[in-house]
């Protein structure tokens, strides 16, 4: 007759699960915490990247748009040179374009000093003002660009100098 000793081996997983159910202990898992922290980390990195790359890029677009719709260099230059009331120097397209006409042998117009004041305020390079000053009727229409501005001009002794300046839309 053999005497059997009680089984003293370690409990199995099934026995452990049954014991937990019997005591109604809640089961806890670290998985939701890990996923939550991972999501928080990913969101933080994405927010930092968006803040350092995308937001400054959009600010530049907003500034160019503001310049194009009236708050830009063209209206400011006309105001600084005090020629806003001159009928030969007109701001158009909500501040995105400027037309200037000087006097000629057969036409009235703005004084060249007023036109060159506006060009100076628009930061036209010396090369552009030199080209404007030396344009002849035979040269036809000339063009130049600088600082997001595009200019075209022509000259005829009878009609004088006419210049159109526009904000370039990128």
Both structure tokens of 165 = 């300046």
Across residues 125-131, what is the average pLDDT? 96
Q: Could you give the count of Cα atoms lying within 13 Å of 1 in the half-sphere of its Cβ?
A: 1
Measured from the Cβ of residue 138, the count of other Cβ atoms closer than 10 Å reads 7
pLDDT at 22: 57
pLDDT in tens, 56-80: 555 555 455 444 444 699 999 999 9
* Residue 85: pLDDT band with limits 50, 70, 90: very high
DSSP strand pairing (142-146 vs 97-101): unpaired
Whether residue 141 is predicted with pLDDT greater than 60 in this model: the reply is yes
Whether residue 121 is predicted with pLDDT greater than 50 in this model: the reply is yes
Residues 13 and 21: beta-carbon distance below 8 Å: no
Both structure tokens of 143 = 């063009």
Residue 159 DSSP symbol: T
Share of the chain above pLDDT 70, in %: 72
Q: Which of 165, 70, 71, 61 is nearest to 118 (CA)?
A: 165
Residues 98 and 118: beta-carbon distance below 8 Å: yes
Distance from C-alpha of 11 to C-alpha of 16, rounded to nearest angstrom:
6
Both structure tokens of 161 = 């100098």
pLDDT at 69: 46
């Amino acid at each position: 007759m053999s005497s059997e000793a009680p089984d003293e081996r370690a409990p199995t997983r099934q026995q452990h699960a049954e014991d937990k159910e019997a005591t109604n202990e809640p089961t806890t898992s670290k998985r939701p915490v890990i996923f939550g922290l991972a999501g928080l980390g990913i969101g933080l990195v994405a927010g930092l990247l968006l803040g350092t790359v995308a937001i400054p890029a959009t600010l530049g677009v907003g500034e160019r748009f503001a310049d194009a719709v009236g708050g830009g260099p063209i209206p400011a230059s006309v105001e600084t040179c005090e020629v806003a009331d001159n009928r030969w120097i007109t701001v158009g397209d909500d501040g995105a374009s400027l037309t200037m006409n000087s006097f000629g042998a057969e036409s009235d117009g703005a004084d060249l000093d007023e036109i060159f004041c506006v060009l100076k305020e628009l930061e036209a390079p010396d090369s552009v003002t030199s080209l404007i000053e030396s344009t002849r009727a035979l040269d036809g229409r000339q063009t130049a660009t600088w600082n997001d501005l595009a200019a075209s001009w022509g000259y005829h002794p009878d009609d004088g100098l006419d210049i159109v300046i526009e904000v370039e839309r990128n």
